[in-house]
Amino acid sequence: MSSSELEIQKAADGQKEQPVPAGAEITGAKEPEADTNASSKADRDFAAAEQYKNQGNDMLKTKEFSKAIDMYTKAIELHPNSAIYYANRSLAHLRQESFGYALQDGVSAVKADPAYLKGYYRRAAAHMSLGKFKQALCDFEFVAKCRPNDKDAKLKFTECNKIVKMRAFERAIAVDKPEKTLSEMYRDMENITIEDDYKGPQLEDGKVTLKFMKDLMEHYKGQKRLHRKFAYKILCEIDAYMRAQPSLVDITVPDEEKFTICGDIHGQFYDLMNIFEINGLPSEKNPYLFNGDFVDRGSFSVECIFTLFGFKLLYPNHFFLSRGNHESINMNQMYGFTGEVTAKYTSAMADIFTQVFNWLPLCHCINQKILVMHGGLFSTDNVTLDNIRRIERNCQPPEEGLMCELLWSDPQLWMGRGPSKRGVGIQFGPDVTETFCKNNNLDYIIRSHEVKDMGYEVAHNGQCITVFSAPNYCDTMGNMGAFITITGNNLKPNYKSFEAVPHPDVKPMAYANSLMNWLA
């Protein structure tokens, strides 16, 4: 049984840990007549809450996370002092990547019963997912002290402590100095020797060609690696190109010509290949925009990113890439990309990717009418496209402000704004979207960032469209992927959903930190 399955089984077994609530009948005890009605109601509420909890546990096992959350919520409404109900709902929120909600329920579980240690695990898991390792470490340390003989508790504390110390060391050795381009840093890469037994694709005079890209994709399908010399060369070329791009890229799609927008790929290389099989390879007549989160979670992220970077170099004016919240060092170290690059190449190359990702554009505007960003809109109504153009993006995503919200925010069904379910960015309603589009003379926005059953969702009276292109996300969610096509003289979106295709037997998160594997 995997650690994830074990966690769900423990959640399903939670009724064994549930204390008898105050007022519940104990066999053989006599209650005063005046308390009979109150006691009976408490018994009925508790019994109903337990039924809802058990239904939630069943749905958690079958990965129906939204339904599980509904069941746990009903249980909490009937019996609001159960730490188990909050802890189980926290787990369901974690599975949906609603880390802010998961944190709230972890806190509630600890408040409801400070002796219920699983509440501390849930709170720690949410803090870890948000990159707040020091806060997570406090919870792991508390559990380890409470259970000094529990090897699992000690392991989690030790692993989290390693991460905290590593982050502190990285900050200590960091120095402010003028940043060099990758070409300046890796001048000696031209001297890298290509071994005689390497039979893979090769750049032609140092340049990406269509033949190289076709050979590369076939090479990757056979689970082979691009030679490090060519990998470094592609990274140097993409670094130089992206540095010259604005934070908001304007795209003109000519009349009658098709343009395709894809959402999150998340290291699912074989599903990326299926998109090209369905919709055609990128070309000057078949342009694409990929809207962030190219890497992490899926264990073929290296193959995805070099394929995407290769096509960007081959068709710089007809192939576009936006930054997502996972193109950042925190996410990459937690969710597998850093580990994958280190395993397939070197830790030095992982550092190079961090620099390259800092220069990715933040959003694109198509024919002055469609704004495409990874996350969503903003905490104020006065944001203009020029404000976005002026963002200094060469950095790690901050925890607030325009750049943060472009990468992290989500739409909500109700009016106004609210705190983010993720704990980062905001949630924005239909009125916010309408005002933003009106102020900037836009027809609608396209964003990604969220799993959708059909791979897309139309919200906010058609002005906020979500597209997600990683089907059966993490091999668990059962969703379809999708992409959107438009034409230059008809900006009405057309949707194409598609199912996941088979891939080699390498599990998602295979390269992630062991502690993150437990969380996932």
Local confidence band at 15 (pLDDT 50, 70, 90 cut-offs): very low
Please state, as a whole number, how many other Cβ atoms lie within 10 Å of the Cβ of residue 388: 22
For 101-126, the DSSP string reads HHHHHHHHHHHH-TT-HHHHHHHHHH
Residues 127-156 have a mean pLDDT of: 90
Residue 462 pLDDT more than 90? yes
CA angle 171, 177, 183 (to 5 degrees): 105
Is the model's pLDDT at 226 over the cut of 50?
Answer: yes
Give the residue among 419, 415, 497 at the shortest CA–CA distance from 451: 497
Q: For a pLDDT cut of 90, what percent of the chain falls above it?
A: 77
Burial of 467 (0-12, 13-18, 19+ CB in 10 A): buried
Average pLDDT, stretch 487-497? 96
Q: What percent of the chain has pLDDT over 70?
A: 89
- How confident is the model at residue 176, as a pLDDT? 58
Nearest to residue 335, comparing CAs of 128, 100, 123, 509?
509
Overall average pLDDT of the 203-207 stretch: 93
pLDDT of residue 122: 93
pLDDT digits (tens, 9 = 90+) for 149-200: 988 888 889 888 988 888 787 777 665 555 667 777 666 677 788 998 999 9
Average of pLDDT values for 217-246? Answer: 96
Structure tokens at 235: 């990274």
Contacts of 487 (CB under 8 A, 6+ apart): 253, 255, 256, 257, 258, 259
- 7 versus 368: the higher-pLDDT residue is 368
Question: What pLDDT does 283 receive?
Answer: 98
User: Residue 114's pLDDT is what?
Assistant: 95
Rounded Cα distance between 375 and 384, Å, is: 16
**Res 487 pLDDT > 70:** yes
Does residue 210 register a pLDDT over 90? yes
Angle 323-159-123 from CA coordinates, rounded to 5°:
70
- At 40, the pLDDT band (50, 70, 90 cuts) reads confident
pLDDT at 208: 98
CA-CA distance, 362 to 376, in Å (whole number)? 11
- Residue ranges and CATH numbers for the domains of the chain are 42-174 (1.25.40.10), 182-518 (3.60.21.10)
pLDDT above 50: residue 17: no
pLDDT digits (tens, 9 = 90+) for 422-438: 999 999 999 999 999 99
The confidence score (pLDDT) of residue 298 equals 96
Q: Cite the active site residues.
A: 326
378, pLDDT greater than 70: yes
Which single residue is written with the structure tokens 């139309």?
458
Distance of CA 350 to the CA centre of its chain: 19
Chain position carrying tokens 């900037």: 440
Q: Taking all residues of the chain, what is their mean pLDDT, rounded to a whole number?
A: 90
pLDDT at 9 over 90: no
Question: In this structure, are residues 320 and 286 in contact, taking their beta carbons and an 8 Å threshold?
Answer: no
Give the confidence band of 12 by pLDDT, cuts at 50, 70, 90.
very low
- The model carries a pTM of 0.87
- Residue 495: the pLDDT is 98
- Tell me the pLDDT tens digit for each residue of 101-115: 999 999 999 999 999
Averaged pLDDT, 362-380: 98
- Residue 16, pLDDT > 80, answer no
The pLDDT value given to residue 186: 65
pLDDT 10s digits, 18-37: 444 443 443 444 455 556 67
**What is the Cα–Cα distance from 263 to 244, expressed in whole angstroms?**
24
Residue-level pLDDT at 4: 46
